[in-house]
Structure 1
Amino acid sequence: MTKTFTPAEVANHKTPEDGQYIIIDSGVYDITNFIDEHPGGSRILKRVIGKDASKQFWKYHSENVLKKYGERLKVGEVKDAAKL
């Protein structure tokens, strides 16, 4: 069963100890262990931790990127589509 989060719950996941979560579309992704692997550098990801990063993600990535990494990083779905 997929875990569900509210945007506020995702916003509470901003530290490595609690997990560093982002939202892309309705998916919630834990990027804690991916930050240092990110080809664009960690700084860009750190700006969107705890937030809906959909707009920034789709600006620079194709669907293939989400297919490649998404399954490994996805921890759930967001209940409310409201933007943070």
Structure 2
Amino acid sequence: MSKTFTKAEVANHKDEKAGMYIIVDDGVYDIAGFLDDHPGGAKILKRVAGKDATKQFWKYHNEHVLTKYGAKLKVGTVAETAKL
């Protein structure tokens, strides 16, 4: 079962100890175990940890990347918040 996170909860996961979560579209991914494998280096992932990285992700990746790695890294989804 997939867990649901708020953006505030994702923001608390921005280091390797707590898990490094990013948001891509409505998915939440823990990238802590992927730092050494990321072709662009760990530094760029550390910059977006705890944040919505959707815009940056799609700028440099295509859907194949999410298909290949997403299932292994996905820890949940973002809860929708009411917009007033």
Q: Assess same fold via TM > 0.5.
A: yes
Paired with 2:19 and 2:43, the residues of 1 have a C-alpha distance of 16
The structure 1 segments of at least 4 consecutive aligned residues displaced by more than 3 Å after TM superposition are: none
Residue 81 of structure 1: how far off its partner (Å): 6.3
Paired residues in the alignment total 82
Normalised to the residue count of structure 1, the TM-score between the two structures is: 0.93
Stretch moving more, 72-81 or 57-66: 72-81
Paired with 1:46 and 1:77, the residues of 2 have a C-alpha distance of 20
Paired with 2:80 and 2:52, the residues of 1 have a C-alpha distance of 11
**Any conservation in 2 of the 1:16–1:32 contact (CA below 8 Å)?**
yes
Indicate the RMSD between aligned Cα atoms, in angstroms: 1.3
Unpaired segments ≥5 residues, structure 1? none
Tell me the residue number matched to 1:59: 59
**Any conservation in 2 of the 1:23–1:52 contact (CA below 8 Å)?**
yes
**Any conservation in 2 of the 1:19–1:32 contact (CA below 8 Å)?**
yes
Radius of gyration: which is bigger?
A: 2
Unpaired segments ≥5 residues, structure 2? none
